[in-house]
């Protein structure tokens, strides 16, 4: 059985920086640009690091801010101040 985790964002200006950051931290991730939506899926695990996102957007960033632009997620969430991790345990 394939073990894909995914996260889907609205295709807006916030999300583009998030996608850049995610691609940098997860080279194995696959990005799908769909109408008005960007879906990122990866085998087993997908990590979003606060530090990488802050570097991309050039300001302080709270992991919770991301949720405004999230459409859907698949996987178990492990979240703290510095990371948002999706994985199948």
Partner 1 sequence: MSIEIKTHSVEPIRQTYAHIARRFGDKPATRYQEASYDIEAKTNFHYRPLWDDKNTLNDPARTALSMADWSAVSDPRQFYYGAYVGNRAKMQEAAESSFAFCDKRDLLARLPEATQKQILRLLVPLRHVELGANMNNSMIAGDATATTVAQLHMYQAMDRLGIGQYLSRIALLMDGSTGRGLDESKSYWMDDALWQPMRQLVEDTLVISDWFELTLVQNVLLDGLLYPLVYDKMDQWLGEHGAEDVSMLTEFMRDWFKDSQRWANAMMKTVTAENEQNTELLQSWVDRWEPRAYQALLPLAEATPGTAALDETRAQLAARLKKFGLQSQGVSA
Q: Applying CB under 8 A, which residues contact partner 1?
A: 11, 13, 16-17, 33-35, 57-59
Give whichever of 27 and 89 is closer to partner 1, judged by the CB atom. 27
Give whichever of 74 and 85 is closer to partner 1, judged by the CB atom. 74
Round to whole Å and give the CA distance between 34 and 2. 22
What is the chain's length?
A: 89
How far apart are CB 55 and partner 1 at their closest, in Å? Answer: 8
Which of 39, 68, 66 minimizes the C-alpha distance to 53? 66
Give whichever of 6 and 17 is closer to partner 1, judged by the CB atom. 17
Round to whole Å and give the CA distance between 75 and 89. 9
Partners of 16 in the β-ladder: none
How far apart are CB 84 and partner 1 at their closest, in Å? Answer: 21
């Amino acid at each position: 059985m394939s073990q894909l985790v995914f996260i889907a964002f609205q295709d807006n200006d916030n999300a583009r920086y998030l996608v850049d950051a995610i691609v940098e931290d997860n080279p194995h991730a696959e990005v799908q640009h769909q109408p008005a939506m960007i879906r990122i899926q990866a085998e087993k695990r997908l990590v979003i690091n606060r530090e990488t996102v802050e570097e991309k957007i050039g300001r302080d960033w709270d992991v919770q801010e991301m949720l405004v632009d999230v459409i859907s997620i698949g996987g178990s969430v492990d979240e703290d101040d510095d990371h948002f991790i999706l994985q199948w345990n």
